[in-house]
Structures are given as structure tokens and as C-alpha cells.
Amino acid sequence: MNEAVQEAKLLRQVNALIVAHLRSQNLGQAAAAVAAATMTPISAAESVPANQLLRLVAKVPPLSPSSGSLA
């Protein structure tokens, strides 16, 4: 059960990052749609720095050809 709670918290944080990124790109309508679809409160996204999603993605090392595909 603890693992499920941790996964849910992580998912909520990722959704907040996505909503915050959309809002920072002046895509308020898209941000509102994503927030509604994922049941992410807009207030959760307001506490996230606008460029935090890009910073996190930039830290992920690229996949090597030998590691296979994402599918």
C-alpha cells in the first residue's frame, strides 16, 4: 500500500509540473484542460517554478541504442 501512495504522490507532482509548464507558455486553456482531466488543482501547479519541468527533463540522460526502445 505504501508503494501505491508514493506512486500517487509522484503522479500528482508530475501532473502539477505539466500544468505549470503549460501555464508558463501562455497556454492557460490547455493547462486548465489538463488540470481538469488529471484532477490536479491549479493551486498545486502555482507552487511549482515555471521551468522546473524543463530542468528535470534536461537532467535525464539520453537512451543509448543498446538500451532498447520505450515501447
Per residue, the 3-state secondary structure of the chain, as one string, reads CHHHHHHHHHHHHHHHHHHHHHHHCCCHHHHHHHHHHHCCCHHHHHCCCCCHHHHHHHHCCCCCHHHCCCC
So what's the pLDDT on residue 49?
Answer: 84
CA distance 21 to 18: 5
Asked if 21 contacts 54 with a C-beta cutoff of 8 angstroms, the reply is yes
Q: Distance between CA atoms of 61 and 56, rounded to whole angstroms?
A: 11
Tens-level pLDDT at each residue, the chain (71 residues): 799 999 999 999 999 999 999 999 999 999 999 999 999 988 888 888 878 888 888 888 888 776 555 55
pLDDT of residue 69: 58
- What pLDDT is attached to residue 64? 78
